[in-house]
Chain A
């Protein structure tokens, strides 16, 4: 009985059946991808058929490897076959580890701001089964440097310099690194990459005596230029809608933006109380908006970076699996000779 089960699980026909199933299942997913958004395809891809097929493949591979190891002559090409098939199991195991331990969170950090890694600093939603347990990291945003193609909304470069961690042995930010969208910095199993850019204006509200009563840098969703976001002052009944044009001039009350580079910004502010519009117009550097005895200024605008933080213990396992995959195949086929 055990012998029959062993033979069935390690049979060649089962291997072929599983390979055909993988092809058919992937074709089905490909057809589905034409009709449905990516997140739906991802959800469908990891339903029961994937786990059944994956589990069956792993079992078949394990039994086949035992058979190969025990029956076939010990040659280098056999070693290649074993390494190759073993590496598929390693890759699948890595995906399992990743699926059940991974953390993904995004945060917005302006130049000069420090990120300390507490859960409330992340933007919702956080992803992954360990989403509530954020990785223990901290960094400070030192510089953000975007570059654009001509006057188009096409980045030719976007990089940020971060210092990390905030303190170690009494030293602040002992390490620094440039991060990009495709060049994360690794802090152990945690990767930190730059995935977005925007403007963080410094707003100041003064009362009629000239005393500052509210203000600070605000990370606004005001990029690309012209996109509107708003600020709600802490103790005042106003809502300030803001649009930022980073390289602009004002001509006849109209804003003309030249490029996307933060060179000579103009803020178009609209201050409302309830449905009453109290101010609506462009503010160049040094200008202020006056309404109901208050004065609103935007003396400085900084860039912010959207930073993605991913903690993935499955990463080294998958990476090792991919390397083994190539090594195994190379041994198998490079040793092969034309007879």
Chain B
């Protein structure tokens, strides 16, 4: 069987396992570990796709929407599984898992709309700095997704809200550090590539929107004490802005940004 077909089957298996993970989380409240196991199984299937593709292409899955989707959704689910496994007794904290699974399904579904053809990296992308930049983008997305999942936990928690809220802010804080590092690395690499740190490319403008939005909610919390449910709702809105700014770049015209890497889209 050809690689393309096996890859598609594995990705669909992954999506199926993640969907079952969400279903079991809600229907088997006494056996939440089933959901964790299903998510971990999906990750194994996804890891095979990533590793196989990496072997063939010779580069990290960073080139094009499909590769970005399989990479960032993997890291997003990883953090959900870790939280679920570590905080076994904190029920509402474990709400991060179904949310990360749902986010991963959305990311993978979007990725499947784009070409899965394997290309070598163009010379402008062959650099360890790009790998670091992409890596930080994945973990940033993972931290913020976990925080969004915890936000739902906070909104629905009655007695535990205060405790979860502390973790929620911790994840937002970590996400903000990683987000800053990701932007700084991207900016530094832009200097290596174009000789300028910032040139108002849509990817930079959208990164500024999401970064300033998270900066804003952190300030609202620190200045005005917006905590628990209020902060959780604000964080969910900001997370939607983040996902839109990250995943909607592909809908910009290809001529408007250097950050669309799908060869087919660029050629047309």
Contact = CB atoms under 8 A, between A and B. Distances in A.
Contacts, number: 138
Contacts of A98: 196-197
A16 B209 contact: no
A325 B184 contact: yes
Contacts of B28: none
B123 A155 contact: yes
Contacts of B216: 16, 19-20, 23
Q: How large is the interface on B (under 10, 10 to 19, 20 to 34, 35 or more residues)?
A: 35 or more
A126 interface: no
B177 interface: yes
Given A19-B216, A26-B205, A29-B205, A326 B191 contact: no
B27 interface: no
A104 B195 contact: yes
Given A34-B252, A181-B123, A326-B177, A42 B205 contact: no
A60 B12 CA distance: 51
Contacts of B122: 154-155
B88 interface: no
Interface of B: 119-120, 122-124, 126-127, 129, 166-167, 170, 173-174, 176-177, 180-181, 184, 187-189, 191-193, 195-202, 205-206, 208-209, 212-213, 215-216, 219-220, 223-224, 245, 252-253, 255-257, 263
Interface string A138-178: 00000000000100001111100000000000000000000
Nearest to A154: B122
A101 interface: no
Q: Which secondary structure dominates where chain B touches chain A?
A: helix
Majority-rule SS of A interface residues: helix
Contacts of B167: 338
Contacts of B123: 155-158, 180-182
Contacts of A183: 127, 192
Contacts of A12: 219, 223-224
Contacts of B180: 325-326, 329
B130 to A, nearest CB: 8
A48 to B, nearest CB: 15
Nearest to B252: A34
A191 interface: yes
Contacts of B189: 182
Interface stretch (A201-209, A279-287, A296-304, A314-322): A314-322
Interface of A: 12, 15-16, 19-20, 22-23, 26-27, 29-30, 33-34, 37-38, 41-42, 45-46, 94-95, 98, 104, 149, 154-158, 180-184, 191, 193, 308, 310, 312, 315, 318-319, 322-323, 325-326, 329-330, 332-334, 336, 338-339
Contacts of B263: 154
Nearest to A147: B123
5 contacts: A33-B252, A182-B126, A184-B192, A326-B180, A333-B173
Nearest to B129: A182
A339 B166 contact: yes
Q: Which of A46, A182, A322, A339 neighbours the largest number of chain B CB atoms within 10 Å of its CB?
A: A182
